[in-house]
Amino acid sequence: MKKLVLLVGVLLVLFFILTGVTKYSPQILDTVSRKEIGNEKIKIVSEESVVTQVVKDVAPSVVTIAAVPKENSPQNQFNPFDFFGILLPETSDDELFDPSKPQNIGSGFIVTDEGFVVTNRHVISDTTLSYVVITNNGKQYKASKIYRDPLSDIGIVKIDPSENAGNVLKPVVMGDSSKLQVGQLAIAIGTALGEFNNTVTTGVISGLGRGITAGSVFEGTVEELSDVIQTDAAINPGNSGGPLLNSSGQVIGVNTAVSQSGQNIGFALPINTIKDSIKNFNATGQFSRPYLGVAYQMITRDVAIRNELPEGAYIQMVVPDSSADKAGLKRGDIIAKVDGQKLQVGTRELSTLIQKKKVGDTMTLEIYRENEDGSSQNFQKKVILQEAPQQ
């Protein structure tokens, strides 16, 4: 009898427990769900706050680069976006470039409070123009000196801070592009289309170590750029020279080009390249860069296999009196290895390896050459890198 009573008691307890769970579990689950939804909302707000804070911190350091023709220079119609391959609509004589008014052509950012501004070389490449730097608050500074890196799309403009007494120049904080990861947040700021200053776009780092051909083949401004950052943050014409930023507000790249054949594909030069250039510039007062002196086309693995050639850099032209010329390199030679490292498209290209050297360094090149009698030979050449000519 006692066992029966005990069994009934256990069953009643289980019944009440099950009833309670059934009754209150929806509320418990709903509470958890609300908590998760709440956390997600907090996360979204946090991401928005990151972007807005970065813009507040960095926007005062972002500038617009404008151009005006020099006195007695030809005043033809000026297209500031040739590098992007964009054609301006036909205009009447009254709508041609107004020599009395600066024309916004690109972006830049302040790197020292002494008045050094980084931009793209192609933004300030026209020597028939004078340039003006316009700060975030509308103050204008004449470019007193302009320096162009001969081997990369980097330019530095020097302005005089005393030209606007009381206006403080705020330098950016530079990050470390060697630590970038695909998928991390990317923020671009610049003067889109030369008209909308402080335009902000966001995205992610889509790829690293890309090699691209930038410019307009129709205008003859084609340039090979290697080891660049790919991002889906919109980089519009006019954004050239502006900063690409991480979530900490550090500059990780310099916006330089946008793909005309795809959507949401933009490119930026890694900031470490710029830091090295600025360090060298501060020490010497100019861009001192190593220089081999060849124009070349990389041979892909597929092309090499089909034509029974080594993968490497096919020399299309040798600059007279350059390091390559003095070493006896010829048009048609293929540089297969540099210091024992095989050249490969997109990973170990010739320009990338040269950029890691200094003026006066020696490189050992393994060359493949086809002779006039149909035979071929492989040989090594030691080349002493000269300083690239200033532009």
For residues 131 and 133, give the distance between their C-alpha atoms in angstroms, rounded to a whole number.
7
| Cα gap 291→288, rounded to integer Å | 9
Residues 6+ apart with CB under 8 A from 58: 109, 172, 189, 243, 245, 249, 251
Handedness of CA 287, 291, 297, 300 (dihedral sign): negative
The dihedral sign for the CA sequence 326, 327, 333, 335: negative
Strand partners for 382? 364
DSSP 23-88: HHHHHHHHHHHHHHHHHHHHHHHHHHHHHHHHHHHHGGGEEEEEEEEPTTS------TTGGGTPPP
Q: Tell me the pLDDT tens digit for each residue of 112-148.
A: 888 999 998 888 888 888 899 999 999 999 988 888 8
DSSP string for residues in 183-243: T-EEEEEEEETTTEEEEEEEEEEEEEEEEEEES-TTTT--EEEEEEEEE-S---TT-TT-E
Q: Which amino acid type is present at position 346?
A: G
pLDDT(179) > 60: yes
Q: Is the pLDDT of residue 157 over 80?
A: yes
Superfamily of domain 59-86+96-164: Trypsin-like serine proteases (2.40.10.10)
Tokens of 175: 């990050």
pLDDT at 55: 92
Tokens of 237: 């014409």
- From the options 3.30.200.20, 3.30.479.10, 3.30.420.40, 2.30.42.10, give the CATH code of 290-387: 2.30.42.10
Instruction: Say if 59-86+96-164 and 178-284 have the same CATH topology.
Output: yes
Domain boundaries, the chain: 59-86+96-164, 178-284, 290-387
Give per-residue burial for 99-108: e unless 16+ CB within 10 Å, then b.
Answer: eeebbbbbbb
Which of 34-38, 257-261, 307-311 has the weakest average pLDDT? 34-38
Mean pLDDT, residues 238-264 taken together: 83
Inter-CA distances, 323 with 132, 365, 386, Å: 37, 12, 6
> Catalytic residues, which ones?
122, 153, 240
Q: 3-state DSSP call for residue 336?
A: strand
pLDDT, the chain, mean? 78
What is the per-residue pLDDT for 62?
Answer: 94
Could you give the count of Cα atoms lying within 13 Å of 313 in the half-sphere of its Cβ? 28
Residue 140 has a pLDDT of 92
User: What local confidence, expressed as pLDDT, does residue 89 receive?
Assistant: 41
Tokens of 274: 């710029």
pLDDT, tens only, 93-109: 444 445 566 788 889 99
Judged against a pLDDT cut of 50, whether residue 176 lies above it is answered with: yes
Instruction: Note the pLDDT of residue 97.
Output: 47
Top-level class of domain 178-284? mainly beta
